[in-house]
Amino acid sequence: MKTPEVSHKLFYIYINIYILDLGFRLPFLEYVIVHLKMNVIIFGYRGYGKSEGTPNEQGVLIDGAAVAKYVFESKEIENYVDREQVFLFGRSLGGAVAARVALDMTLPFKGVIIENTFTTLGDLVDVMFPFLRYFRKYLLRTKFETIDIIGKIKRPILFCRSEKDELIPKAQMDTLYNQATGALFKTYYAIHEGSHNDGFRTDVIGYANAIEKFINECNNYYSNNKELKIEQNEDKKEDKDFSCTNENSSNNEKSKVD
């Protein structure tokens, strides 16, 4: 989606697409366009919304990596995007996907925004379904272990947390923030009245200001550290999942998280 005003900044969104379609996310897309004056690209993972396939961890990560490459390589959008002003955003499960994609330093995202994301899917299951705590290792194949990779991300990171999030405990977002030791710099914004999906509605001005401040800080950081290139090709990808092109992973259990 392109903003009505000329803007070459791009907000690349990983966010869950519900069983119906992308329309459920239109209020947030409108918010980004109106309040942040940024173009938006969003997609539905396999098995979500009207996308074909079966949702599984490996497949979702492949999808995320594929669209990321499209953002930086496609000629279809090159006239609408300043590829040095692309920001990666992920909420909930999308934050886990965004964190994994952010490891690929051949993709020159200017910064990463992670909102209301769990440390691992197992940790979240323990909170939501405590009676499964002693059995989940036998039942849960999908892991999304963000806690294990967050410290390897070598980009600026903004963590946004809704204080009234009904799904993700505060402690899990705090842990991700504290473990993000590899970030070029990191910052934390608390949405005081926001729930899991509607922080941007309850804190319209403050939320936009926090993101705009982060974008400005990213630009200033790179301006003051010109020896640092956003694209660091010498850094190898940390996760081999991105090299897999098999559409049908052996792990086919459904793992939808709101």
Question: Amino acid letter at 115?
Answer: E
Distance, CA of 81 to CA of 72 (rounded, Å): 9
pLDDT of the residue at 222: 92
For the entire predicted model, the pTM comes to: 0.81
Per-residue pLDDT of the chain (258 residues; tens, 9 = 90+): 555 554 557 777 765 544 345 566 788 888 988 898 888 888 776 666 666 667 778 888 888 888 888 889 989 888 878 888 999 999 998 899 999 999 998 889 999 999 999 999 889 888 888 888 777 777 777 788 999 999 999 999 999 999 999 999 999 999 999 999 999 999 999 998 889 988 999 999 999 999 999 999 999 999 988 766 654 444 444 444 433 334 333 333 333 444
pLDDT of the residue at 27: 87
Report which secondary-structure segment, H or E, holds 40. Answer: strand 39-42
Q: Is there a catalytic annotation at residue 165?
A: yes
In the set 165, 203, 249, 255, the catalytic residue is: 165
CATH number of 10-243: 3.40.50.1820
pLDDT of the residue at 51: 64
Q: Are strands 39-42 and 10-14 parallel, antiparallel or unpaired?
A: parallel
pLDDT of the residue at 3: 54
Contact indicator for 12, 41 with CB cutoff of 8 Å? yes
In the set 92, 162, 249, 255, the catalytic residue is: 92
Task: Give the residue extent of every domain in the chain.
Answer: 10-243
Radius of gyration in angstroms for the set of CA atoms belonging to the chain, rounded to a whole number: 17
Q: Is there a catalytic annotation at residue 35?
A: no
In the set 35, 174, 196, 241, the catalytic residue is: 196
